[in-house]
């Protein structure tokens, strides 16, 4: 949303739901607020001035411009009845003028590759599968090659037709609510929350690095601190998924009202772009908000079991090693997929087959749970700092 109108009754003033509405607006990223004080025909002028002062202070508390935000006084009932006094129909016109002046027109990105978060999908008999959503960025044209990404799926397809309000158009631009007909895609593989994007423009991952703000109890968040391996639901765009939050070892814990860098591990591979907003909710209450954008991390892939997957903190510890270190110990599980490497004085956990100095670890599986102490390193040369190993 680009802006919101906060309606306050002059007979009641600031209420608990007023605070909840502003908190919700802040959490959803609304940057502009216009206030309309209703029912001013039922109170004195002194009461209206007092309510206006309270509202401006409340706006400032939530990070909005409480001094310059427009506040319009009027009566919706009188305007509906055709009253021509200052608190009747003219107050509604002043409200609309304030919206035009205070809420800027959104800046759309028409040059970047197309990106469509999917809200819904259905099948048109004889045509195929149609996905519906609001084009987030770029331009989507007919016969464009696209990819359907999300929930571990990567499906290549072609857009056969594009419709806006049930009318076929040659192309759609960012901000348009569209329906896109996909060629050769079954309905059962399409899920709400998947992304339809230009071919090769986005990549799937289940590891991300972010800076977040931990809401305090007064803001609707938790009252207790959060440690690593904190698992809750992450919501972003039109999808939500189980997510594990890991905290850097030098931070230890996050107290309510603090900012901190964290590492996010998703249950499924999803697409998240730099600066993409998201929230983490616990028991239907938002506890985390993004603070300074979001960046993709080059970390390790994990299994679907979040509680047993390797932590990013283990991976980041490699950065504190000397520029060169040799692999001196290797441990494999019975399937040969989980590798435990000791790099210098630190232990690093890998999931899956791991490249070591350009080659792959092969023919090293002994017996179940057997640990191999190698007299010579796996690599014939030291491992450079920052390599895959």
Q: Which CATH number does the domain housing residue 51 bear?
A: 3.40.50.300
Whole-number Å distance between alpha carbons of 234 and 109: 26
Residue 323 covered by a domain: no
Same domain, 253 and 283: yes
Assigned domain for 301 exists? no
* Residue 162: predicted pLDDT: 95
Identify the pLDDT of residue 288. Answer: 61
Same domain assignment for residues 233 and 280: yes
Q: Pairing mode, if any, of strands 167-168 and 153-164?
A: antiparallel
**Is residue 47 located within the same domain as residue 73?**
yes
In a domain, 310, yes or no: no
Total domain count, the chain? 3
Give 209-241 as a DSSP string: EEEEEE--GGGTS-SS-B-SSEEEEEEETTEEE
- Whether residue 309 is contained in a domain is answered as no
Residue 34 pairs with which residues in a beta bridge?
5
Residue 96 lies in a domain: yes
Same domain, yes or no, for 135 and 183?
Answer: yes
Q: Do residues 48 and 15 both lie within one domain?
A: yes
* Residues in Cβ contact with 36 at an 8 Å cutoff, skipping those fewer than 6 apart: 5, 6, 7, 8, 71, 72, 73, 74, 95
The two structure tokens encoding residue 193: 């929350």
Q: Which of 295, 323, 350 is the last residue of a domain?
A: 295
Which of 198, 231, 248 marks a domain boundary?
Answer: 198
**C-alpha to C-alpha distance for 55 and 13, rounded to whole angstroms:** 9
Alpha-carbon torsion (91, 93, 95, 98), positive or negative: negative
Nearest in space to 195 (alpha carbons), one of 128, 267, 275, 276: 276
Which segments of the chain have a pLDDT < 50?
Answer: 292-305, 307-389
Residues 95, 7 within the same domain:
yes
Asked if residue 290 and residue 221 are part of one domain, the reply reads yes
SS3 101: helix
| CA 317-236-243 angle, 5° bins | 40
Residue-range definition of the domain harbouring residue 17: 3-102
Burial class (CB in 10 A: 0-12, 13-18, 19+), 1: exposed
Measuring CA to CA, which residue among 232, 281, 224, 234 is closest to residue 257?
Answer: 224
66 within some domain:
yes
* Residue 245, strand partner residues: 230, 264
CATH number, domain of 256, equals 2.40.30.10
How far apart are the C-alpha atoms of 135 and 41, rounded to whole Å? 44
| Strands 4-9 and 153-164, bridge-based pairing | unpaired
Chain segment 335-389, per-residue pLDDT in tens = 433 344 444 344 444 433 333 333 333 333 332 233 333 333 333 333 334 444 3
Residues 222 and 183 in one domain: no
- Dig out the tokens for 109 from the structure: 């990105």
Q: How high is the pLDDT of residue 289? A: 65
Q: Is residue 58 part of a domain?
A: yes
Tokens of 308: 């047993």
Domain identity same for 176 and 158 = yes
Structure confidence at residue 181 (pLDDT): 94
Considering the domain architecture, whether residues 78 and 17 belong to the same structural domain is answered as yes
User: Residue 253's pLDDT is what?
Assistant: 85
Residue that finishes a domain, picked among 132, 166, 198: 198
Which residue blocks in 39-197 are alpha helix, DSSP H? Answer: 45-61, 76-80, 89-102
Which residue is associated with the tokens 């007909």?
A: 181
State in Å, rounded, how far the first CA of the chain is from the last one.
44
pLDDT value at residue 121: 94
Q: Is 149 exposed, middle or buried (0-12, 13-18, 19+ CB in 10 A)?
A: buried
Do 38 and 79 lie in a common domain? yes
Same domain for 73 and 12: yes
Is 341 within the bounds of a domain?
A: no
């Amino acid at each position: 949303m680009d802006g919101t109108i906060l309606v306050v009754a002059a007979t009641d003033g600031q209420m608990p739901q007023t605070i909840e509405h502003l908190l919700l607006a802040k959490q959803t990223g609304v940057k502009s607020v216009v206030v309309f004080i209703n029912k001013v025909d039922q109170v004195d002028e002194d009461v209206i001035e007092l309510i206006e002062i309270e509202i401006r202070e409340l706006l400032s508390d939530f990070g909005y411009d409480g001094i310059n935000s427009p506040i319009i006084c009027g009566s919706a009932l009188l305007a509906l009845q055709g009253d021509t006094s200052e608190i009747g129909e003219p107050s509604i016109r002043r409200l609309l003028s304030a919206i035009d002046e205070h809420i800027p027109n959104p800046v759309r990105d028409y040059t970047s590759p197309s990106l469509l978060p999917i809200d819904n999908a259905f099948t048109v008999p004889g045509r195929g599968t149609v996905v519906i959503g609001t084009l987030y960025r770029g331009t989507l044209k007919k016969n464009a090659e696209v990819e359907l990404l999300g929930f571990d799926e990567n499906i290549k397809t072609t857009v056969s037709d594009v419709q806006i309000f049930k009318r076929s158009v040659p192309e759609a631009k960012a901000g348009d609510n569209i329906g896109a007909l996909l060629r050769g895609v079954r309905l059962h593989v399409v899920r709400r929350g998947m992304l339809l994007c230009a071919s090769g423009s986005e990549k799937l991952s289940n590891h991300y690095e972010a800076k977040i703000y931990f809401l305090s109890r007064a803001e609707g968040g938790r009252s207790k601190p959060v440690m690593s391996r904190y698992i809750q639901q992450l919501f972003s765009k039109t999808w939500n998924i189980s997510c594990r939050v890991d905290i850097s070892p030098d931070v230890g814990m996050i107290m309510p009202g603090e900012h901190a860098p964290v590492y996010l591990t998703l249950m499924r591979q999803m697409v998240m772009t730099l600066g993409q907003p998201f929230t983490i909710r616990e028991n239907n209450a938002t506890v985390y908000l993004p603070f300074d954008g979001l960046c993709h991390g080059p970390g390790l892939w994990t299994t679907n079991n979040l509680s047993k997957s390797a932590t990013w903190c283990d991976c980041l510890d490699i950065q504190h090693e000397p520029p060169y270190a040799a692999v001196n110990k290797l441990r494999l599980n019975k399937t040969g997929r989980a590798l435990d490497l000791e790099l210098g004085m630190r232990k690093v956990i890998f999931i899956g087959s791991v490249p070591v100095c350009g080659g792959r670890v092969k023919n090293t599986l002994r017996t179940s749970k057997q640990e191999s102490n190698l007299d010579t390193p796996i690599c014939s040369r030291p491992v450079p700092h920052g390599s895959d190993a």
